[in-house]
Structure 1
Amino acid sequence: MGLLDNMKAKLGPAKDKVSDLAQRQRGSIEHGLDKAAKVVDEKTKGKYSEKIHAGTGKAKEAVDRIAQRGERRPDTDTSTAPGGETAQTPPQTPPEGPPPTS
């Protein structure tokens, strides 16, 4: 087993704990992000409001992604692609050449 395999094996349980924590504490985490964003916005006197708002939104999306990892089961959820999008099969192209005659 290589170094990466060893690290993945040891970090697997931690990843599950983090996603479980994010699921259970999602509301508290988002409340804390909003509170921190408000404080920073006040300290900067609104100069970076747009960037603070964008960063807060991205942080909330990251919490949601982490929490959803624990909700999905790899052995039962094969309908989503790695980016979280629904996996779609590519359209079938007809074979080249003339159509068959009967």
Structure 2
Amino acid sequence: MALDDITKKARNFLDDNKVKEALTSQQAEDISDKLLASAADAANKVTGGKHEDKIEGARKAADDKIGND
């Protein structure tokens, strides 16, 4: 399969409204919130909470880009 064919199929997949709806659904938001919170908690544990403000800022910035809320 040529790279152009793969690229075209990927574009068609991402242009599908069902995919867009799934990526911006409340379920996707809930899952992303849980994952980001877990990642932030782990980072805070590793750093001993020394960078909690920066970690929270990064978590919020990522959350703003993912899901619908």
With the length of structure 1 as denominator, give the TM-score of the two structures: 0.47
Deviation beyond 2 Å, 4+ runs, structure 1 = 7-10
User: What do you get for the CA RMSD once the two structures are aligned?
Assistant: 2.6
User: 2:56 aligned with 1:41, yes or no?
Assistant: no
Structure with more of its chain in helix, by fraction? 2
With the length of structure 2 as denominator, give the TM-score of the two structures: 0.65
Rg comparison, structure with higher value: 1
Higher relative contact order (CA 8 A, sep 6+): 2
The aligned counterpart of 1:21 is 23
When residues 59 and 15 of structure 1 are mapped into structure 2, their CA distance, relative to the original with a 3 A threshold, is: farther
Unaligned runs of 5+ in 1: 1-6, 69-102
The aligned counterpart of 1:56 is 59
How many residues are paired up?
A: 60
